[in-house]
Structure 1
């Protein structure tokens, strides 16, 4: 069957779409969520915020984009101490990263600064702080260190706060039990297995930084499992988002084997 599949244009998604590249419709996380919601896709990699706020989706079991410590590709670039921040420019590309930032600011620092849309090609010198994600964040992380250019890694902050992994994105399908859904899930798990077996090849493809930088990022900062620990982290995030009013109510996530 010719499935309609949505993927992300980030380095960290390469292992999940190995062998499927010609069948993937690429885009930003928010766009993939909109397309899946509109019925334009049969499956898509979406930010976890989408499956937490809407129970119309099922999640493909065993696959995620997650971290168990510093992630390097989701962070706040800032000049002043985080506790003193009044405003932060944030990307509109991923609701999950913005929610994670809100949770950590409140839970870790007890603050709620104003979050406003980050202009394209924004520079830190023009803003008090910026939330960066994906390849843009990786590019920024390669710049020379400076006392006026600090980084608050949100993956590391979450792990320090909860002791749990953080799940950024998952494969989501329309919430229905069907042969097609199981077949599609099996195809996506096979793509992940093949991608993890070819990480060196994927890192050698052009992208951010050097091949070694990309390989270390894919193997040391990102994990692709959705096991018991990742699900516990997902439930904790859901709980905190609900407590802060980011989602109206919690619902039981459905996983497709």
Structure 2
């Protein structure tokens, strides 16, 4: 997207809010993922729409807050969107990976068909479910599951495998005693030939003006993708990673548009999650723009 296109979109979205914000009865509470992978979706959002209060947290907590009604719209794990009652996906902006995710890493002491226990990152719901689906469906194992807490160190882990997500996965070195490393985005792609969808913009029941939010989140995403250099520069200072590593992660590893392949991938994931008792057979999801799932 060119600078002129970005400027034009910003003009359009401001006109949209001048025309429609008077119909909003209150400020909208929005939940944004606090990891680097969400920054292209969020970096310009507050500037584009002052009718938002953005709360940042890990994906698992955002899902809990949306379910409790503490948030109106949030970027939540796709599995929690499927599990929720009356949720609607309000944007084609998403967090996905075409191949390697780089920030969803399973370390293992053993080949995966011999794993009997796994510690799952406490910030994760979608990647945790992906781990369980992959192990059960592809490797035929259903290990004992425990949580790897936010304050825990890798040296404390006693399980056969441990899942790390987000910035912790990107900044952690391969732990001693875990010689095997699996990027779960790569594992899903090799197995299914689909990209993997980690998170979606989801509205709770009762949120109005979905057409406005649909347009806003897409434009905010496009602004973010046009500004990856600045986002990567800031992230490199914050995470103590190189600019090149942050830029490559945002521009090549992560993918931010929900299309047909992403829909088909999510449908397949849903089927496996139901098969293995992780989701109920009734799990479904409405899309503001596009066919419902389930």
TM-score in terms of structure 2 length? 0.81
Q: Would you say 1:100 and 2:100 are equivalent positions?
A: no
Asked if structure 1 preserves the Cα contact closer than 8 Å seen for 2:63 and 2:77, the reply is: yes
> 2:204 pairs with 153, 159, 174, which one?
174
- Residue 14 (structure 1) aligns with: 39
Residues 93 and 144 from structure 1, CA distance in 2 versus in 1: closer, same or farther, beyond 3 angstroms? closer
How do residues 119-138 of structure 1 correspond to structure 2 at under 5 angstroms?
A: 119=149, 120-124=151-155, 126-127=157-158, 128-138=160-170
Q: Which runs of 5+ in 1 are unaligned?
A: none
Q: State the aligned residue count.
A: 254
Distance 1:145 1:88 in 2: 15
The counterpart of 1:236, out of the listed 268, 287, 292, is: 268
CA–CA distance in 2 between the matches of 1:187 and 1:42?
15
Residue 191 (1) aligns with residue 220 (2) = yes
Report the CA distance between 1:250 and its aligned residue. 4.0
Deviation at 1:60, TM superposition (A): 2.0
| Cα root mean square deviation, aligned | 2.0
Match of 1:222 in 2: 254
TM-score, reference length from structure 1: 0.91
Does residue 110 of the first structure (1) align with residue 135 of the second (2)? no
Cα distance, 1:111–1:193 mapped onto 2, change above 3 Å: same
Deviations 1:68-96 (A, max 9, x none): 11101112112222222221111222221
**Which one has a bigger Cα radius of gyration?**
2
**Structure with greater contact order relative to length (CA < 8 Å, sep ≥ 6):** 1
Which deviates more, 125-134 or 55-64?
125-134
Distance of 1:228 and 1:175 partners within structure 2 = 25
Residue 107 of structure 2 aligns to a residue in which SS? strand
Change (3 A) 1:177 1:132: closer
2:102 corresponding residue in structure 1: 72
Name the SS of the counterpart of 2:119 in structure 1. Answer: strand
Q: For 1:138 and 1:115, how far apart are their aligned partners in 2?
A: 23
> Residues 148 and 41 of structure 1: is their aligned pair in 2 closer, same or farther, counting only changes over 3 Å?
closer
Q: Output the CA distance in 2 between the equivalents of 1:251 and 1:85.
A: 28
Q: Distance in 2 between matches of 1:89 and 1:148?
A: 13
Question: Cα deviation per residue 1:136-163 (whole Å; 9 max; x = unaligned)?
Answer: 00012xx379885321111111111111
